[in-house]
Chains A and B, each alone.
Chain A
């Protein structure tokens, strides 16, 4: 009996050791519990889908991609423990997106780890943490970012807002950490420059992913007399904010980074804000582009979610392309192949990975949520969907960087 037990325990261990030879382990470090779990789970499903897609085409250089999910509870400290755990189990590539505080810690960690362990380098692919500092003062050779950073998004958003004469009083509400603070500072500075007549009637910072009822904040927005709210909130912080606004019947325009996240569309429909909520993304379901629409259809059919991370698609496909170009899965060679790489993105148009700071530049879209022509993609079974209101081409999104990168 005891021997049988030992064999049963040993079997999976041996199995995974044998597997390790022909897989590329890809560590996914993001919240799978707590307030960030809803976005973290969605991201995990997306990466698993993308790994399946690559594996169905024969993997990367003949090796299967295996996604290793690691729960960081949106906590920088926990992320480092998970990253170490991943590295110990043979992971050479990690990806993370939720929370710039986490991203900053991970980028530091990976950079130090690589200094101390030459020959065992680890690459960090950032698919969603958008604090500009990560590709400016704190840039690292080992960090690559696929999402447009916060400054790029705010630049595009305010360029659109400046031509909307009806915007007179703006309320800023953001999460109280590096990213939220960066959104509020940039929004203030850019609005002051482009539309000095706009009055900032409120500037709120609230705890990150801890609020379960935004009703008091909504009452305050209401009292401020604002006609427009600008927010970088993500995860449950945007869904619950919109839900509380819907409950209170707050009718304002919303300029957001992430209103399309889980729960957001349902709340917008409930509030009846037809094409009054805007978001800025690198793509959405109804972009007029056959490749992305086909992808969306297949993704929804298999995963049961709408694609929230077109950038994850770009990330994984570019990872494969870079490894094939370098003819190696050695992280240093992959990183060198990624630098300056030009790539046709999922939603159409060419993007490029800037060598100086490892920021990916791509076309970005401002879209609004509301009624759509029949036959287009809706969200969360609301019957409403995203409609393009403005597109910014790649060359218009390029902004300077202060990055001075140390290269190996």
Chain B
């Protein structure tokens, strides 16, 4: 302990509070956008499947997990980069097979059966993953090529790998946009989003489109898994951690609306990240108006800080949206 141990303090004096605040905002925005883009990669597939098949795919986040574990295994054998390509293809193929040989048969028995099918599938995948890879986090490393700070804002490093995650999500987002707007398949998918029955009546092979959409949707979730795996924690409960948030994204964004899912993803990403950095509580905002509340039975709620409730913010948003705008932000239909 010899005087070199107070860099944080020096920092504060050198830059002053304004720049520190700016730094917090910039870093939080980056983190929030990154988290939002990851959510979008997963939610885009989910929302398209939801609107076309009318099935809320409970197993969607499981494909995110499969992507991460496939990526990990392939990175062990051949390195990270082959994993980035192969893992999503594998997961997508499994997704397509699930649709072709599972969902399509169950479909005859109605929506409840489909829902239960995906629900059971999620548990099955989790168990299989923990049998193969164990329940302890696996050591999925960021590739050495990207293991350095990309840039420094004031004094905070931003890891290159996170920039890479951001870049991959943006590229895929743009690719998806082009595919939907410019290709024939994309047009049919778009039509099927809003008028699924009409598309079927027009004689398109709706079944094959469903399979394709399911495959691509799950592959996108797997891409998110491959790139998020090394940065977050790759373990057998990772699907259960993001699963509920995905449904929030889909509902908030609006059924069948990709732009809606995009906005909702970013919104939730930023909401959660910024909520963490706010210290205020009800007590600190309204304290002077009702000082007696600080000591009453309400004191728990009164004194809890925004940062502490950050994890439940998305669900609060979900409840509010369902009450005030059931079709979601950009949704066009209610069911």
Interface residues of A (CB under 8 A from B): 32-35, 37-38, 41, 71, 164, 166-169, 176, 202, 204-207, 210, 212-213, 215-217, 219-220, 222-223, 225-228, 236, 240, 247-253, 276
Contacts and interface: CB of A to CB of B under 8 A. Distances in A.
Interface size on B, as a range, is 35 or more
B136 A249 contact: no
B5 A220 contact: no
Contact of B308 (A167, A205, A247): A205
Nearest to A202: B279
A11 B31 CA distance: 57
Contacts of B157: 247-249
Given A32-B135, A34-B135, A225-B20, A217 B276 contact: yes
Nearest to A252: B8
Contacts of A240: 233
Contacts of A220: 24, 276-277, 307
Nearest 4 Cβ contacts at the A-B interface: A225-B12, A33-B135, A249-B157, A223-B24
6 contacts: A33-B135, A33-B236, A166-B6, A219-B24, A252-B8, A276-B5
A288 B44 CA distance: 58
Contacts of B159: 247-248
B137 A222 contact: no
Given A168-B9, A227-B7, A204 B23 contact: no
Contacts of B130: 33
Nearest to B22: A223
Interface of B: 1, 3, 5-9, 11-12, 17, 20-21, 23-24, 27-28, 31-32, 35, 130, 135-137, 149, 152, 155-159, 162, 231-233, 235-238, 241, 272-273, 276-277, 279, 305, 307-308, 311
A225 B9 contact: yes
A248 B158 CA distance: 6
Contacts of A204: 307
A346 to B, nearest CB: 26
A222 B276 contact: no
A155 B307 CA distance: 28
B232 A222 contact: no
A38 B8 contact: no
Main secondary structure of the interface of A (DSSP, over half): mixed
Nearest to B10: A227
Contacts of B237: 33-35
B1 A219 contact: no
A372 B56 CA distance: 55
B6 A223 contact: no
Given A213-B232, A249-B155, A222 B8 contact: yes
A37 B35 CA distance: 25
Nearest to B142: A247
Contacts of A252: 7-8
Contacts of A213: 31, 35, 231-232
Contacts of B136: 37-38, 41
Contact of A249 (B152, B272, B279): B152
Contacts of B8: 169, 222, 225-228, 250-252
B156 A216 contact: no
A37 B235 contact: yes
A247 B236 CA distance: 24
A215 B277 contact: no
Contacts of A207: 311
Nearest to B312: A207
Contacts of B276: 206, 216-217, 220
A44 to B, nearest CB: 11
A226 B155 CA distance: 14
